[in-house]
Chains A and B, each alone.
Chain A
Amino acid sequence: MKLFKNSKTAPLIASPYLAWAVIFILVPLAMVFYYGLTDDQGGFTFENVATIAEYGYFKALIKSVNLALISTAICLVLAYPLGMILTSMKLTRNTYLVTLFILPMWMNFLLRTLTWMTLLEGKGVINAVLTFLHLPTINIINTPSAIVLGMVYNFLPFMILPIYNALSRIDDNVINAARDLGAGTFQTFLRIIFPLSLPGIISGITMVFIPALTTFAISSMLGGSKILLIGNIIEQQFTQLYDWHLGSGLSIVLMIFIILNMIVENITDTEGGTLA
C-alpha cells in the first residue's frame, strides 16, 4: 500500500471508486435529504421528519426497533458459540462449514422468505409433519414471531462471519499465556477471548440490526401485512402513495439510528484495533 502513498498515480487509481461513491452514495443521499426536508412546493420544512412523532408512525418505529433488537440478540446467541466451534476446528474442515453457512445466501433472499411462508402456513409443510407425528401444530405465521424467525434466518450469516473472523484472529499464544498464568477456561474466555472478539461482535450487531430495522419484505410476507414496520411505511410512501417527501423524511429518521449504531461501532472498533 505504501507504494501508492504520495505518488501521483494515487488519485488516478482511486477515481473509479470516487465516481462510484459520488453517483451511488452521495447523490442518492443528497436526494433523500432534499426530498425529506422539502414539501410539495419545494419549500424547506421539518414536517416530514416530524411525522415520525405521530401515533401510527411512532408505533411502527418502536415495533421495528423491538423486533430488530430481538432478532439481533438471537443471532448473537446463536452465532457466538458457532464462531467458537468453527475456530476450534482449525483450517481444513471448517472451510466446508463456513461455506455451508454462506451457501443459502447464493439464493435470492425473497425466494427463501417466500419458502418460509409456505413452510409455516396453517396447513403448511411443517404442520403437516407435526400432525402426522401427532404433535401439536405451530401457528406463528402472520405474527411477530414469524417475522423474527425470518430476520434471524436471513441475517444470521452476517453475524457469524465477523465473529468467526475476530475469533480466528486471536493469537493462540495469548490464550496459552493466560493458561500458563493460571487462568481457568472461564476466566480465559471472559478476560481474553471475549474482549478480543468484541470488534467482531459489534460489527456483527451492526450488520444484523440495520437490515432488520429497515426490512419491509420479511414483515409483509411473514407478517401477512398485519404488522406494520417502519420499513413498510416508507416503502408504501414510494410505491403506492407517491409521497417521496414523507418517505424521505422518515428515511432520515432511520438514518439517525443507523449513524448512532455506527458511531458506537467506530469507538469500540478503534479500541479493539489497538488491543489486537
Chain B
Amino acid sequence: MKKKLISVALVVMITCAALAGCGSEKTDSNNKLYVYNWGEYIDEDVIKEFEDETGIDVIYDMFENNEIMYAKLAQDTSAYDVICPSDYMIQKLIENDMVQPLNFDNIPNVKNIGQQYFETSKDFDPENKYSIPYCWGTVGILYNKTMVDDVVDSWDILWDEKYKGQILMQDSVRDAYMVALIKNGYSLNSKDPDEVSKATEDLIAQKPLVQAYVIDQVRDKMIGEEAALGVIYSGEAIYTARENPNLEYVVPKEGTNVWIDSWVITKGSKHVSNAEKWIDFMCRGDIALKNFEYITYSTPNTEAQENIEDEDIKNSKVAFPDLSTMNVEAYQYLGEETDKLYSNEWMKVKSAD
C-alpha cells in the first residue's frame, strides 16, 4: 500500500511539473494580442502602457532563438499575431508564406524609422512589404581588460590556447559558423560545402578551449568574470560595460554580421488591427527610447536616437556604429538544403570531444 501511495504521489508530482510548463490559456476574445518576442527584449512597462492606452489584452511570450520561434510557428501560424524574428528568419517566413504584407497606412509612426534600415532590410524583405525594424546591431567580442593582455581585434583570439577555458561561444548555428567562416575569409552566407566543412574543422579545434556554448548567459558570465572572452551582440555592450567597467566590446577587423530584428504579422493572425496598433506603438519615438534605455539594443528609430540624453551613448560607436567603415554582411536564409547541411555540421561540432 505504501508503495502505491508513493507511486501515486510521484505521478502527481510529475504531472504538476509538466503542467506548470504550460502557459496562458487561449480564449477567442477579439481584444487580444499575442506577441512573440525575444527574451528580455522590451521594457515590460511598455506592455502595460500599451494595454492601458488601447484596452487591448496582451499575451506576451518569449523565445530564445529564431529556430525555436520557427518550430513553434510552423505548427500553427495563428498562434501569434505579431513576432520579432531576425533578418534571415524573416526571409524564411516570407518564402514559406507564413507572414502577411503590412498595411503601412495603419502604422503612421513608421516615419520615425530611419530610411537606411529599410535599405538594409531589402536583403531579406526585398520590397519592404513585410517587416518594420525594431532593433539592430553587430556581433563582436566582449573581453575583460584585466584578463586579456593581447590586443583584441581579430576573431583569431578565440583560437588562442592561452585562453583555454576562458572563451564563451554562441550556442546557435548561424552565429557560431559566422565566426569560423569569417575567420577563414569566407562569406557568412556561404553555401559551399567545402567552406562550411573547413569552418566545422575550426570549430572542433576550438572546442577544447571553449568554456561553454551559451546564448543569453554570456552577459551574466562576463559580468561575473567567469570568462575572459565572449561572442556577444552589440546591444549587450552598453549594459555589460555599465555593470562591469573592465568589459569592452570590439568588432573584429575581419568583419562581422549586421543583424536587424523586425516586427512582422503572421499569416494566420486573428487580430491584425491590434497587431498594427502594437507595431505603431513600438515605432513611437518615446516608446522606442524607453525600450532602448532598458534593453540597450540599438534602435533604428531616428526620433529616439535624437532624444537620448546621455551624450556618450548617443555618440557611441558601439551602439550606433558607422557601418560603411566595417566589413559587414547580413544573414540570409540559405534554403532548406543548406540549412540541413549547417545543422548536420553543427552536430559534428557539438558531439566532438
Interface residues, chain A, with chain B CB atoms under 8 Å away: 55-57, 59-60, 105, 108-109, 121-123, 139, 142, 158, 161-162, 165, 168, 224-226, 228, 233, 238-242
Contacts and interface: CB of A to CB of B under 8 A. Distances in A.
Contact of A165 (B2, B70, B347): B2
Given A121-B226, A226-B213, A240-B68, 16 more contacts: A56-B351, A57-B351, A60-B351, A123-B226, A162-B3, A165-B3, A165-B6, A224-B211, A225-B213, A226-B210, A226-B212, A228-B347, A239-B68, A239-B71, A240-B71, A241-B67
Given A108-B17, A122-B226, A56 B348 contact: yes
A192 to B, nearest CB: 20
A60 B171 CA distance: 18
Contact of B224 (A108, A123, A158, A242): A123
Nearest to B74: A242
A56 B350 CA distance: 9
Interface of B: 2-3, 6, 10, 13, 17, 20, 65, 67-68, 70-71, 74, 165, 171, 207, 210-214, 224-226, 343, 347-348, 350-351
A238 B71 contact: yes
B351 A224 contact: no
A86 to B, nearest CB: 13
Contacts of A162: 3, 6
A241 B224 contact: no
Contacts of A161: 6
Contacts of B68: 239-240
A57 B351 CA distance: 8
A226 B207 contact: yes
Given A123-B225, A225-B212, A226-B207, A241 B343 contact: yes
A121 B225 CA distance: 11
B351 A228 contact: yes
B246 to A, nearest CB: 14
Given A56-B347, A225-B171, A242 B71 contact: yes
15 contacts: A56-B347, A57-B351, A105-B13, A121-B226, A168-B2, A225-B212, A225-B213, A225-B350, A226-B212, A226-B213, A226-B350, A228-B350, A238-B71, A240-B65, A242-B74
A161 B213 CA distance: 36
Given A59-B351, A123-B225, A241-B343, A142 B212 contact: yes
Contacts of B210: 226
Contact of B20 (A56, A108, A233): A108
A198 B211 CA distance: 42
Nearest to B212: A224
A224 B226 contact: no
Contacts of B67: 239-242
A105 B13 CA distance: 8
Nearest to B351: A56
A57 B212 CA distance: 20
Most buried by B among A60, A121, A168, A240: A240
B17 A142 contact: no
B65 A224 contact: no
Contacts of B351: 55-57, 59-60, 228
Contacts of A59: 351
Contacts of B347: 56, 228, 233
B120 to A, nearest CB: 26
A229 to B, nearest CB: 10
A120 to B, nearest CB: 11
A142 B6 contact: no
Contacts of B224: 121, 123
Contacts of B2: 165, 168
A142 B164 CA distance: 13
A106 to B, nearest CB: 8
B348 A109 contact: no
B93 to A, nearest CB: 13
A228 B348 CA distance: 10
A2 to B, nearest CB: 16
Contacts of A225: 171, 212-214, 350
Most buried by B among A55, A122, A139: A122
A60 to B, nearest CB: 6
A251 B21 CA distance: 21
A223 to B, nearest CB: 8
Contacts of A56: 347-348, 350-351
A241 B347 CA distance: 11
Contacts of B207: 226
A110 to B, nearest CB: 9
B218 to A, nearest CB: 11
A132 B71 CA distance: 47
